[in-house]
């Protein structure tokens, strides 16, 4: 567990340093990430940007690189989580649409906060939790035990509870939290299996997790899309959309597909508005390895 204590020490250092110094190091980490990410993934990301946004190759490459370098800033912001509290969160994150969350939560049915790998999604969960809303974030268990312990500890540090997105216990925790009228945070832009809903993103077919639509339909709770934008000046903006409800007709499959299509339309709108914020190096359409990874 040496890596865990090393991360704790690094976090303490960055908590003592001014934010501007932290962002300087974050930019350096971001540039380092460009070297670490496999070349085929960068070529895939640039090609997907070009195909989805219809921009010139040079611009597509720049957007793909920016989507990777922003990870350095994200790391620094997470390392500084011990400094965050309900009194200062508004100084770091300007939250638009908080009234939608207040209105939805007041109805006493819980709510689904749905986002993607966009901006600093970890800071997004902290923002909601530190505004006083009980928040269960659905996470993927990290391969590295030390890093898994570290990131989950820091999520809990800012007021979130954590459940893993695999296994019976995770599903039960999600259902129980909604029954208790709390918030459930879900990343819905990636599907690691073939069990999701077939929908389209930028006109290209993808499998998308059905969880948000299923939970909304089952519990009657609203879905609030929410996205984090990180500006060049160091400011962050969380954008909350008005609540959406999954219909409950006799055709369950249709209800779920329609809501998932709506969520994907919101995601696409957000990506178009601020392309570098999305994690383009993920093989979203499951064809990147075949198209770009060198054959052995």
Least confident among 29-33, 40-44, 191-195: 191-195
**Per-residue pLDDT tens over the stretch 222-265:** 999 999 998 877 789 999 999 999 999 999 999 999 999 999 99
Q: Find, among 225, 135, 223, the residue nearest to 177 by Cα.
A: 135
- 172-180 long-range contacts (CB < 8 A, ≥24 apart) are 173/136, 174/136, 174/138, 174/211, 174/215, 175/215, 175/218, 175/219, 177/110, 177/134, 177/136, 178/109, 178/110, 178/112, 178/215, 178/219, 178/221, 179/110, 179/219, 180/110, 180/134
**Per-residue pLDDT tens over the stretch 117-167:** 999 999 999 999 999 998 988 888 887 888 999 999 999 999 998 887 665
pLDDT of residue 222: 96
Are the C-beta atoms of residues 185 and 162 closer than 8 Å to each other? no
Distance of CA 102 to the CA centre of its chain: 21
H/E element holding 82?
A: none
Distances in Å between the alpha carbon of 53 and those of 19, 64, 87, 201?
33, 12, 39, 11
- The two tokens of residue 41 are 């993934």
- The two tokens of residue 251 are 């055709």
**Per-residue pLDDT tens over the stretch 23-32:** 999 999 999 9
Q: What is the model's pTM?
A: 0.92
């Amino acid at each position: 567990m040496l890596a865990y204590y090393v991360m704790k020490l690094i976090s303490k250092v960055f908590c003592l340093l001014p934010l501007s110094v932290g962002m300087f190091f974050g930019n350096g980490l971001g540039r380092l990430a460009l070297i670490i990410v496999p070349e085929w993934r960068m070529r895939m990301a640039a090609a997907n940007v070009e195909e989805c946004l219809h921009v010139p190759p040079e611009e597509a490459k720049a957007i793909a690189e920016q989507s990777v370098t922003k990870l350095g800033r994200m790391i620094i912001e997470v390392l500084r989580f011990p400094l965050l509290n309900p009194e200062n969160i508004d100084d770091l994150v300007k939250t638009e649409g908080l009234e939608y969350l207040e209105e939805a939560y007041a109805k006493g049915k819980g709510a689904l906060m749905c986002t993607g790998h966009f901006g600093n999604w970890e800071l997004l969960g902290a923002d909601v939790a530190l505004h006083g809303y009980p928040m269960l974030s659905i996470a993927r268990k990290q391969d590295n035990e030390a890093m898994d312990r570290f990131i989950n500890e820091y999520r809990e540090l800012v007021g979130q509870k954590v459940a893993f997105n695999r296994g019976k216990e995770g599903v039960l925790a999600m259902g129980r939290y909604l029954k208790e009228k709390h918030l459930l945070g879900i990343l819905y832009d990636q599907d690691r299996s073939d069990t999701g809903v077939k929908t389209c993103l930028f006109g290209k077919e993808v499998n998308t997790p059905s969880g948000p639509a299923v939970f909304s339909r089952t519990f009657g709770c609203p879905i609030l899309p929410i996205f984090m934008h990180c500006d060049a000046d160091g400011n962050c903006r969380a954008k909350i959309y008005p609540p959406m409800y999954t219909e409950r007709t006799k055709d369950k499959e249709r209800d779920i597909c329609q809501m998932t299509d709506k969520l994907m339309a919101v995601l696409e709108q957000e990506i178009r508005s601020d392309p570098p914020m999305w994690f383009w190096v993920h093989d979203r359409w499951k064809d990147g390895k075949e198209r770009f990874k060198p054959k052995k």
